[in-house]
Amino acid sequence: MLAAVQKNATRGDPRSVVKAIDQFCRQKEWAMNVGDEKGCILDSVVTEVNPATVLELGTYCGYSTVRIASLLPSNAKLITLEFNPDYAAIACQVIAWAGLEDKVQLVEGASGDWIPKMKEKFGIETFDLVFLDHWKDRYLPDTKLMEECGLLRKGSILLADNVICPGTPDYLEYIRNSPRYKSQYFKSHLEYTKVEDGLEKSVFLG
């Protein structure tokens, strides 16, 4: 995938990096990027929220990191957590190829370890937007952890990938029934396939 980016995408052009990865995953080898169809929904949420602070859980190869960072205002900050060093190394190069390294802080480590350190290590008060796309059984514990650490403010937006496929039943049950969130489901398809999947957008009510 990285070779495809370096061969087909233009340095400093995030859209060409996104296109190169999507082309590679459609033509050569499927990969678990959020993809172009759900990616458009992601783009519209990022544009609508216009966040100053973003947390991404699960960088993988940096596809959604590039999509999000390319839409952020100049002073905005995107912190992305990835605990697999091999994926982190690839993502770092993909983000650099897109010319977005100044907007992105890629942190190598587990979300559970780093979420409690966000304030002291990065001077983050609260996140305006969180994109959840890591192991599906971590969405709920990490959401509760973000609440406990005071990282969500009235109006913070959580956007979760794969709430249908592979599915995040415990997270959906919690977020749709909690009086502290207002949720909305965006129906779509699993990246590069016709299988149903979707994104769940939830506003923290404080």
Q: Which residues bind ligand 637 (CB under 6 A)?
A: 32, 58, 60, 81-84, 87, 110-112, 133-135, 138, 161-162, 165-166, 190-191
Q: Which two tokens stand for residue 183?
A: 């949720």
Selecting among 56, 82, 128, 133, the annotated active-site residue is 133
List the catalytic residue out of 162, 197, 200, 201.
Answer: 162
Residue 6 corresponds to which tokens in the numbers above? 């370096």
**Which of ligand 637, Mg ion, none sits in contact with 60, Cβ below 5 to 8 A by type?**
ligand 637
Q: Who's near 169: CB < 8 A, 6+ residues apart?
A: none
Residue type, 5: V
Amino acid sitting at position 103:
K
Distance CA 58, CA 46 (A): 17
Q: Pick one of ligand 637, Mg ion, none as the site partner of residue 36 (Cβ within 5 to 8 A by kind).
A: none
For the question of residue 136 being annotated catalytic, the response is: yes
User: Is 113 an annotated catalytic residue?
Assistant: no
Angle at 48 between CA 144 and CA 74, to 5 degrees: 95
Find the shortest distance in angstroms from Cβ 143 to Mg ion.
16
- When the beta carbons of 10 and 31 are compared against ligand 637, the nearer one is 31
Q: Which residue number, 56 or 128, has a Cβ lying nearer to ligand 637? A: 56
Q: How far is the CB of 73 from ligand 637 (least distance, A)?
A: 26
Q: Output 36 or 133, the one with its CB closest to Mg ion.
A: 133
Report which of 1, 34, 17 is spatially closest to residue 163, judged by C-alpha positions. 34
Among candidate residues 22, 56, 142, 191, the one labeled active-site is 191
Nearer Cβ to Mg ion (46/124): 46
Rounded to a whole number, what is the distance in angstroms from the first to the last CA of the chain? 40
Active site residue 148: no
The Cα–Cα gap between 191 and 31 comes to 8
Q: How far is the CB of 10 from ligand 637 (least distance, A)?
A: 25
* Dist. CA 6–CA 17, nearest whole Å: 8
- Catalytic amino acids? 133, 136, 161-162, 191
